[in-house]
Amino acid sequence: MIGLSHYLVLSSLLFGLGLYGVLTRRNAVAILMGIELMLNAANVNFVAFTRFVDPTFVRGHVAALIVITLAACEAVVGLALVINAYRHLETVNVDQVDLMKG
């Protein structure tokens, strides 16, 4: 029988994976992928909690749909910024993007 805890473990693993990606990857696009994993981990939580905690309403499902839309908006703007940065700085490696220090 698959219960709430299974979903929570799955979502924590996804979240941890995303967090690990954000903290260790140096490529801006890969960091963005890590962030998307973290957002989807929250989505798994929302949907699982709807099923087990709040079954009469579908608030968690609605939340997941809203988050998917926002994640798409964020990715669109973010990739545009990454492309623009690449045109000028000729790298998307965040360790080499260091004009400013202090």
Minimum gap (Å) between residue 68 Cβ and other proteins: 12
Residue of 57, 43, 34, 33 lying closest to 10 (CA atoms):
43
Kindly state the number of chain residues that form the binding site for other proteins, as judged by CB under 8 A: 42
**CB nearer to other proteins: pick between 3 and 88:** 88
Among 3, 20, 49, 58, binds other proteins (CB under 8 A): 49
Minimum gap (Å) between residue 34 Cβ and other proteins: 8
Q: How many CB atoms lie within 10 A of CB 77?
A: 10
Among 31, 61, 68, 72, binds other proteins (CB under 8 A): 31
* 92 backbone dihedrals φ, ψ, rounded to 5°: -120, 15
Helical spans, DSSP H, in 1-102: 4-24, 28-52, 59-89
